[in-house]
């Protein structure tokens, strides 16, 4: 409804109607029974609107319902809904003109091309536009005929009317105030129509009172909506700040808490479209998706209690520092001792007049040095975590550890301590069983933390979903050993998202990032071993969720060709 300059008159007394010259008038006619019945029906409709507005949770629909309800109550042909911005402007939110079939903003999907109305121009109140004047003066403005009213800029209105053949006549403009008595918006209605004849008329005193009453209720609903939205934004920002702090705590898992929610949402939406197995009854609402997203953001919040030396353990010998450098120093001592022993034996051979034996001594020295260098390279290799360490390699570490050497205080001791042997023989990854328990405890900590939070009803499953993402379908997961039927679909979704993100992540200290085919192969074996949900695994492959995720979060070199028929456990 081209209202960019369509604001027309003002009054200090909102209960008055202004005529074309700005003089105050009161209606003198006595209402008949038909009018009373009509008014009572409209009051009842007002009550129904108030109830409907209080339950609306979508901001766009709320604003749209306010305007449509006001138009219906007053039988207005057109109307505009504005909201006040932080920049002291009135933003066009909804525009409707029935006779011209104009519908913009709200749920229409049609954007409003008009710029916001400034409340001030060059530092002065913008009283030339009705909507701005109503907001600035905090009063209702009721104008019988805009073309006869004085003191306002009607150029935009006249231009719009000339272009469309419309006749903008009566205007009713009502400010909306929140609980702190601040203007938060403006409701403007245009061209009241007679309920019987349809002729354009002035907005009556009853029209004004009904519009003002609706505006009051609408302001409460808008304020509640904004408060809820602000609290929601604060809550999300807070949990994301915690998640980011956990990622920042460890340079090796940076971004994990951010990526798992994304992948969880992708898989959940794919599952909602699927009819595979139990998923045929999975029909999540947007609130359910939101609940899952919050759970995914908070799934690792318990890591705030996990020591950094465990979280950041990049190598098997790492504590505060990587002890491989201490072991390297011992190897250098072995080399030095071997060379010193060779020199002593060489001097002795020369003193005994046996220079022929020196060649044999040199050969023995080179063999010793070669063995020491080989053992050193082997220990350094074992210090880097991997997926598997064979018993033969573990036995060699033990043999190297039992070698004797003389330490700095002259004591002859084993080359490696028991703790060093234990760490170097870790069969998978870089963590000992004790350290793995420390890491696993983060799930217990997560559940304990989340159970203490007073989540509202629509987020009541967050603790269960966030605290069960390391459970397995066969009951061999942790911390509670839950089986598949004891877990929510959300928890099962997060279990796959957590695993796949970890497999493809390029920031892990103990392994290189795996390709798509490698990651799906491992995930397939996990499905066969009943570690992950079979239905969700099938959806993950069928719907190519892995590819949707990879296109944003994986390095191009990780995106190799995937042959679904070669993925273990996958049944097309």
Q: Residues 61, 207: one domain? A: yes
CATH number for position 479: 1.10.3210.10
Domain that holds residue 221: 17-227
- The contacts of residue 53 (CB under 8 Å, 6+ apart) are 62, 65, 66, 69, 217, 218, 221
415-420 long-range contacts, CB within 8 A, separation 24+: 415/330, 415/334, 416/327, 420/317, 420/323, 420/327
Q: Residue 8 pLDDT > 50, yes or no? A: no
What are the structure tokens assigned to 565, written together?
């028929």
- Which of 400, 430, 460 is a domain's end point? 430
Q: Residue 187 pLDDT > 70, yes or no? A: yes
pLDDT band at 431 (very low <50, low <70, confident <90, very high): confident
Tell whether omega for the bond before 479 is within 30 degrees of 0, i.e. cis: yes
In a domain, 237, yes or no: no
Q: Residue 30 pLDDT > 70, yes or no? A: no
Q: What is the pLDDT of residue 492?
A: 97
Q: Residues 91, 181: one domain? A: yes
Q: Residues 85, 170: one domain? A: yes
Q: Residues 57, 203: one domain? A: yes
pLDDT band at 318 (very low <50, low <70, confident <90, very high): confident
CATH number for position 27: 3.30.450.40
Q: Residues 550, 423: one domain? A: no
Instruction: Report the alpha-carbon distance of residue 132 to residue 559 in Å, rounded.
Output: 56
- The contacts of residue 540 (CB under 8 Å, 6+ apart) are 267, 270, 496, 500, 523, 546
In a domain, 112, yes or no: yes
201, 145 Cβ separation under 8 angstroms: no
Q: Residue 13 pLDDT > 70, yes or no? A: no
pLDDT band at 528 (very low <50, low <70, confident <90, very high): very high
Q: Residues 102, 218: one domain? A: yes
Per-residue CA distances from 341 to 281, 336, 370, 408, 411 (Å):
78, 9, 16, 17, 17
Lowest mean pLDDT among 117-121, 123-127, 151-155, 543-547: 151-155
Q: Residues 375, 469: one domain? A: no
Dump pLDDT digits (tens) for 49-98.
Answer: 666 666 667 778 888 888 888 898 899 999 999 999 999 999 999 999 99
pLDDT above 70 covers what percent of the chain?
Answer: 88
Q: Residues 398, 302: one domain? A: no
Mean pLDDT of the chain: 86
- The contacts of residue 432 (CB under 8 Å, 6+ apart) are 422, 423, 426
Q: What is the mean pLDDT of residues 459-484?
A: 94
Total domains, the chain: 3
Per DSSP, helices labelled H in 324-357 are 324-351
Q: What is the pLDDT of residue 2?
A: 40
Per DSSP, helices labelled H in 304-432 are 308-311, 324-351, 358-383, 391-402, 418-424
- Which of 374, 396, 430 is a domain's end point? 430
Q: Residues 194, 332: one domain? A: no
pLDDT band at 251 (very low <50, low <70, confident <90, very high): low
Dump pLDDT digits (tens) for 125-137.
Answer: 999 899 999 999 9
In a domain, 206, yes or no: yes
In a domain, 244, yes or no: no
Residue with tokens 């060779």: 342
Q: What is the pLDDT of residue 25?
A: 41
In a domain, 186, yes or no: yes
Q: Residues 165, 123: one domain? A: yes
In a domain, 1, yes or no: no
Dump pLDDT digits (tens) for 320-374.
Answer: 788 999 999 999 999 999 999 999 999 988 888 888 888 899 999 999 999 999 9
In a domain, 369, yes or no: yes
What are the structure tokens assigned to 386, written together?
């991997």
Lowest mean pLDDT among 26-35, 231-240, 397-406: 26-35
Q: Residue 542 pLDDT > 90, yes or no? A: yes
pLDDT band at 31 (very low <50, low <70, confident <90, very high): low
In a domain, 526, yes or no: yes
- Give the predicted TM-score (pTM) of the model: 0.66
Q: Residues 196, 67: one domain? A: yes
Q: Residues 299, 338: one domain? A: no
């Amino acid at each position: 409804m081209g209202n960019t300059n369509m604001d027309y008159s003002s009054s200090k007394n909102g209960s008055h109607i202004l005529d074309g010259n700005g003089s105050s008038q009161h209606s003198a006619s006595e209402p008949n029974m038909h009018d009373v019945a009509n008014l009572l029906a409209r009051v009842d409709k007002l009550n129904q609107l108030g109830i409907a507005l209080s339950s609306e949770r979508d901001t766009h629909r709320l604003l749209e319902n306010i305007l449509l309800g006001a138009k219906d109550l007053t039988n207005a042909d057109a109307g505009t809904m504005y909201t006040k911005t932080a920049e002291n402007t009135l933003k066009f939110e909804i525009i409707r003109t029935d006779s011209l079939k104009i519908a913009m903003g709200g749920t229409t999907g049609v954007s409003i091309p008009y710029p916001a109305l400034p409340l001030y121009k060059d530092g002065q109140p913008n009283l030339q536009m009705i909507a701005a004047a109503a907001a600035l003066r905090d009063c209702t403005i009721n104008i019988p005929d805009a073309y006869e009213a004085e003191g306002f800029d009607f150029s935009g209105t006249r231009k719009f009317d000339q272009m469309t053949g419309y006749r903008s006549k009566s205007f009713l403009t009502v400010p909306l105030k929140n609980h702190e008595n601040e203007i938060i918006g403006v409701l403007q209605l245009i061209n009241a129509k007679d309920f019987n004849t349809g002729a354009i008329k002035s907005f009556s005193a009853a029209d004004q009172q009904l519009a003002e009453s609706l505006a009051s209720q609408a302001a409460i609903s808008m304020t509640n909506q904004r408060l809820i939205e602000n609290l929601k934004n604060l809550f999300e920002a807070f949990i994301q700040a915690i998640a980011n702090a956990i990622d920042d705590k460890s340079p090796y898992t940076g971004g994990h808490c951010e990526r798992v929610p994304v992948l969880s949402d992708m898989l959940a939406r794919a599952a909602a479209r699927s009819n595979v197995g139990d998923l045929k009854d999975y029909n999540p609402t947007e609130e359910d998706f939101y609940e899952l997203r919050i759970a995914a953001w908070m799934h690792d919040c318990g890591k705030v209690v996990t020591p950094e030396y465990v979280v950041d353990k990049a190598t098997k010998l790492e504590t505060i520092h990587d002890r491989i450098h201490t072991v390297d120093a011992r190897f250098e001592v072995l080399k030095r001792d071997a060379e010193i022993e060779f020199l002593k034996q060489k001097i002795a051979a020369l003193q005994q007049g046996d220079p022929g034996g020196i060649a044999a001594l040199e050969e023995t020295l080179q063999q010793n040095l070669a063995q020491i260098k080989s053992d050193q390279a082997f220990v350094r290799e074992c210090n880097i975590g991997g997926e598997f360490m064979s018993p033969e390699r573990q036995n060699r570490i033990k043999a190297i550890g039992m070698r004797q050497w003389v330490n700095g205080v002259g004591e002859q001791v084993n080359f490696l301590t028991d703790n060093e042997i234990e760490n170097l023989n870790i069969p998978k990854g870089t963590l000992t069983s004790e350290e793995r328990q420390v890491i696993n405890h983060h799930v217990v900590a997560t559940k304990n933390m989340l159970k203490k939070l007073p989540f509202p009803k629509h987020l009541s499953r967050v603790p269960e979903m966030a605290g069960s993402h390391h459970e397995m379908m066969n009951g061999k997961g942790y911390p509670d050993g839950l089986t598949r039927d004891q877990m929510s679909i959300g928890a099962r979704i997060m279990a796959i998202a957590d695993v796949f993100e970890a497999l493809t992540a390029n920031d892990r200290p103990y392994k290189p990032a795996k390709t798509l085919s490698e990651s799906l192969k491992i995930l397939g074996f996990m499905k066969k071993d009943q570690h992950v949900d079979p239905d969700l695994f099938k959806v993950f492959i069928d719907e190519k969720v892995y590819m949707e995720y990879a296109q944003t979060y994986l390095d191009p070199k990780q995106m190799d060709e995937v042959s679904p028929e070669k993925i273990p456990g996958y049944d097309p």
